[in-house]
Structure 1
Amino acid sequence: MKKFLFATVFCFFSYFAIGQSGYEITIKLKNCNDTLAYLTYYQFDKTLVKDTCTTIKNGKIVFKGKSKLDKGIYSLVSQRKAIYFDFFIDDNTQKLELESEASENIGKELKALNSPLENEFFGYIEYINQQNKDFQNYKQSVTLATKNDTLELNKKQKEIEKNINDFEEKFLAKHNGTYIGDAINLKVEKLLKDTPKTAEGKTDSIQIYNYYKKHYWDNVDFKDDATMRNPFFNIKIKRYFESVVVTHPDSVCVEIDKIMKSSKPESLLYKLLLAHFTYTYETSKLMGFDKVFVHMSDNYFKTGKAEGIYSDNDVVQKIIKRADKLKPLLVGSKAQDLFMIKAEDYPKMKAMGFENAKNSEEMTSVYYKNVDEVTKMYVKLSDVKAEYTILIFWDVDCGHCQKEVPILLDQYNELIKEKKDVKVYSVYMQHEGDKYLKYIDEHKLPWINVYDGAHYNNAVEKYDVYSTPVIYILDKNKVIVAKRIDANQLKPMIKAIEAESKKGK
């Protein structure tokens, strides 16, 4: 009898465990005409579909699965791919019953039948929406005719912001330690309560900034994948690196390393963060920030810390190869030397047979047959003596070059008038020498006009010239101080470089 009783109890607990596994989200949505709906969730910078309900009857939508849902903020999405509303899932809301009405009042009507905390989250959303709506209504009701009108509008905005901030602080204090508390924590700004003043009585913006930066990531757990399953995390990461971190590649590298060190290498969050930073700075339009991309390659991809990030292992090797190619071209690096031939020496090179060689073997033969003479003809980049050397790679037939080269010429002439010690090392990327000479003559290019007459340099690879024109600025030591600038940026860029140089002295 005891054995039977024990077996019965065991079966009961087994059944109970099975009953608690998986998820079941039941939503009663009045006046819903959809025949299908989607359950989606936020993940870093994307929204992904978790489940689909294709059997909606009388507005009853059910999502059901055998495995538990990951903690995060989820959305009910309509047949037309529009979000009806958001709700959160944690360990206590795997079995969730919601109801609302498919109307403009969907947020106000929304409620959870079996989760008080879910209802508090809905109340939070509704409060924020109402505050923003109140401000927009006020803004539309006033006419900004005077300075006082603008001041009143600013006053109203600050009032709304304070209301929201106070409400969020109370929400966080009440729900500290819960998933939804952690999610809202990502949204809340950490600001000084009292505005500090300097000895002169002015607002101490440095102290405000330092406090903000120091507390920006308070209570954010980078070791938990749930941290990124909401719409706030991606915004917070983006704002941090665009507005909080000092806009310098070295500063960015330091901050990336701090965040990566706070994450678990095997976690999904770690992998997505690493992929995000790598892509962001590989494609960055900010000059000099390819240094961050190189840093990612050297410190994560080359060291094996990027394993499992990409399904195709070739991607890792491509990233390493690309970074290695860019490393010698970083701002602050010594420019790689070039051994070019003067444009005016094109006829000589042609007579030697360089332009008639049909393949690399014939080209090599021509080169070594004339190596002594060719060597004497080289115009080396390293031999150019100037405070600033402008290195440009371009093509006569390139439409963009035809616009940029005349602008560069104007900028150059202005700098010469200002007695700036500037020289242009102009590299024609093709081998149609007659065409090149004609352009130089017609446009009166007073530069060091050269081309790779001996096919010796492979400038495309050496200077990453995948399109033309490409413009670099080198200092007197042939160190790269600016790169890939537009022609009209030449003069302002040199002035900025000189100003920065004076600061450092």
Structure 2
Amino acid sequence: MKKLITAVVLFFTSFSSFAQSGYEITIDLKNCNDSLAYLTFYRFDKTLIKDTCRTIKNGRIVFKDKTKLETGIYSLVSQQKSILFDFFIDETTQKLEIKAEYGPGIQKSLTALNSTREQDFFNYFRYLAEQNNAFLDYKQKAPLATKKDSLALTEKQKQFEERIMDYEAEFIARHKGSFIADVINLKTEKTLRNPPLAPNGRPDSTLVYKYYKKNFWRDVDFKNENIMKNPFLYNKLRTYFDKVVVTHPDSVCVEIDRIMSKTTQGSLLYKLMLANFTYTYESSKIMGFDKVFVHMSDHYFKTGKGKGIYDDEDVVQRIIKRADKLKPLLIGATALDLYMIKAEDFSKMKAMGFEDAKNSEEMTKVFYKNANEVSKMWVKLSDVKADYTILVFWDVDCGHCQKEIPVLLEAYNDLLKEKKDVKVFSVYMQHEGDKYLKYIAEHQLPWINVYDGAHYNNAIEKYDVYSTPVIYILDKNKVIKAKRIDAGKVKDMIKAIEAETKALKS
């Protein structure tokens, strides 16, 4: 009998344990006529589908499985693929019951039936919406005829913002130690309240900025991977690097290293952040920020810290190869030398047989056969004497070049009128010499007009010229000061370089 009782106890214990495992999210959505709904979750910069309910009856949606949901912010997504509302899941909300009314006012009707903390979460966003609507309503009605009216509106806005800050601080304190407190902390803006005034009578902007930057990531634990399972981390990172960090590649590199050091190497968050930083600065359109990409390659991928980031390890080698190609072309690097041939020497090079060679082997034979003569014809970039050398790679038949080259010519002539010591090292990227000479004559290009007549330089690889035109600006020491700019920006760029040089000397 004792054994039987023991068996019964074990059975019910086991059954109870099974019943508590897994998740079951039940949502009663009044007035919902959809036949299916999705359960999605956030992971850094993506939203992914976790579950699908295909049996909605009278607005009752049930997501259920035997394994637990990971802690994070989840969304109910409609049949039309729009997010209806967010909610959080942690250890306490694996069995969750929610009710709401489908429609524009769904946020107001959201009710968590069996979780006080979930209800607090709903109330938080409801409160934000109420405060925002109240301020907008006030703003629409407020007079703005005088400066006094504008100051009054600014003060009112400050009151609303401080009210929200107080609410958020109270929320975080009340739920301290919970996932949702960490999420709201991540979302909040840490601004300096009642900053001291500067001599001009306005809030001291320097102190405000320093406080904001110093406290931007306050209490954010990058070693806790749950911190990426919400819609806020990715956008907060973008805000930090786009608006808070000084817009300079060196500053960005320092901040990337500082934040990456806060993560656990090899963790999913580490991998996602590293991949995102690498892609962001490889594809950056801001001049000079390829230096950050090179830094990512040198500091992470070459050292093995990028192992496992990509499913295809060949991607790592491609990143390293690309970065190594860009390194000699970074702003501040000395320009790689070029050994070119004058455009007017095209007929001589053709007579030597350079244009008739059918492959690299034949080209090599032609080159060594005529090496002494060719060496006398070199026009070297390093030999150009000027305060500024505009290095341009282009093609006569390139449509964009046909628009940009006349603009560059006009800029060049204007710079000469301004008594600037500037020269243009014009590199034709093809070998149709007659066509090149005709264009030079027709457009009267008073430049150092050259081409790779001896097929010696491989400028495509050396200067990363995969489309034309490509324009670099070099100083008198052939240091790269600007690159890949439009012809219309050449004059302004040289003025900016001069201003920077003057500032450094003063």
**TM-score, normalised by the number of residues in structure 2:** 0.96
Aligned residue for 1:473?
A: 473
Q: 1:296 deviation in Å?
A: 0.5
Aligned residue for 2:74?
A: 74
Distance in structure 1 (CA, Å) of the matches to 2:6 and 2:206: 69
Aligned residue for 2:385?
A: 385
1:319-339 alpha-carbon deviations (Å, 9 max, x no partner) = 111111111111111111100
Distance in structure 2 (CA, Å) of the matches to 1:194 and 1:139: 23
Aligned residue for 1:57?
A: 57
Aligned residue for 2:36?
A: 36
Matched residue count: 505
Aligned residue for 1:154?
A: 154
1:123 maps onto 2:123 in alignment: yes
Q: 1:15 deviation in Å?
A: 2.8
1:181-229 alpha-carbon deviations (Å, 9 max, x no partner) = 1001111111112212346755322222111111111111111121011
Q: 1:137 deviation in Å?
A: 2.9
Distance in structure 2 (CA, Å) of the matches to 1:120 and 1:200: 43
After TM superposition, the runs of 4+ consecutive aligned structure 1 residues lying more than 6 A away are: none
1:441 maps onto 2:463 in alignment: no
Aligned residue for 2:197?
A: 197
Aligned residue for 2:109?
A: 109
Q: 1:170 deviation in Å?
A: 1.5
Amino acid at match of 2:453: G
Q: 1:4 deviation in Å?
A: 4.9
The answer to whether the Cα contact below 8 Å between 2:36 and 2:56 also exists between their aligned partners in 1 is yes
The answer to whether the Cα contact below 8 Å between 2:195 and 2:207 also exists between their aligned partners in 1 is no
Distance in structure 2 (CA, Å) of the matches to 1:453 and 1:115: 77
Aligned residue for 2:358?
A: 358
1:401 maps onto 2:362 in alignment: no
Distance in structure 1 (CA, Å) of the matches to 2:194 and 2:149: 26
Q: 1:43 deviation in Å?
A: 1.4
Amino acid at match of 1:487: A
Q: 1:397 to 1:124 in 2, by over 3 A?
A: same
The answer to whether the Cα contact below 8 Å between 2:189 and 2:216 also exists between their aligned partners in 1 is yes
Q: 1:231 deviation in Å?
A: 1.2
Amino acid at match of 1:222: F
Distance in structure 2 (CA, Å) of the matches to 1:398 and 1:27: 60
Q: 1:7 deviation in Å?
A: 4.5
Aligned residue for 1:332?
A: 332
Aligned residue for 1:211?
A: 211
Distance in structure 2 (CA, Å) of the matches to 1:16 and 1:502: 78
Distance in structure 1 (CA, Å) of the matches to 2:480 and 2:155: 49
Aligned residue for 1:290?
A: 290
Amino acid at match of 2:185: N
More deviation in 423-432 or 494-503?
494-503
1:375 maps onto 2:375 in alignment: yes
Aligned residue for 2:251?
A: 251
1:428-482 alpha-carbon deviations (Å, 9 max, x no partner) = 0011111111111111111110000000000000000011000111111111111
1:388-411 alpha-carbon deviations (Å, 9 max, x no partner) = 111100011111111111111111
CA RMSD of aligned residues (A): 1.6
Q: 1:365 deviation in Å?
A: 1.5
Q: 1:140 deviation in Å?
A: 3.7
Q: 1:151 deviation in Å?
A: 3.8
Aligned residue for 2:342?
A: 342
Aligned residue for 1:271?
A: 271
Distance in structure 2 (CA, Å) of the matches to 1:4 and 1:299: 65
Distance in structure 2 (CA, Å) of the matches to 1:332 and 1:16: 68
Distance in structure 2 (CA, Å) of the matches to 1:254 and 1:342: 45
More deviation in 313-322 or 448-457?
313-322
Distance in structure 2 (CA, Å) of the matches to 1:470 and 1:171: 55
Q: 1:495 deviation in Å?
A: 1.1
Q: Percent identity?
A: 69
Distance in structure 2 (CA, Å) of the matches to 1:372 and 1:33: 85
Amino acid at match of 1:108: K
Q: 1:143 deviation in Å?
A: 6.3
- For the residue of structure 1 that corresponds to 2:92, the secondary structure is coil
1:241-262 alpha-carbon deviations (Å, 9 max, x no partner) = 0111111111111110111111
Distance in structure 2 (CA, Å) of the matches to 1:103 and 1:197: 47
Q: 1:138 deviation in Å?
A: 3.3
Amino acid at match of 1:449: N
Amino acid at match of 2:361: E
Distance in structure 1 (CA, Å) of the matches to 2:136 and 2:331: 46
Aligned residue for 2:497?
A: 497
Q: 1:28 to 1:200 in 2, by over 3 A?
A: closer
Q: 1:496 deviation in Å?
A: 0.9
Distance in structure 2 (CA, Å) of the matches to 1:245 and 1:11: 60
Q: 1:146 deviation in Å?
A: 4.7
Aligned residue for 1:84?
A: 84
Aligned residue for 1:306?
A: 306
Amino acid at match of 1:365: K
Amino acid at match of 2:157: Q
1:360-394 alpha-carbon deviations (Å, 9 max, x no partner) = 22211211111110111010111111111111000
Aligned residue for 1:163?
A: 163
Distance in structure 2 (CA, Å) of the matches to 1:274 and 1:13: 45
Distance in structure 2 (CA, Å) of the matches to 1:13 and 1:195: 60
Aligned residue for 2:182?
A: 182
Aligned residue for 2:455?
A: 455
Distance in structure 2 (CA, Å) of the matches to 1:393 and 1:313: 34
Distance in structure 1 (CA, Å) of the matches to 2:144 and 2:428: 57
Q: 1:488 deviation in Å?
A: 1.2
More deviation in 146-155 or 90-99?
146-155
Q: 1:265 deviation in Å?
A: 1.6
Distance in structure 1 (CA, Å) of the matches to 2:229 and 2:88: 10
In structure 1, runs of 5+ residues without a counterpart are none
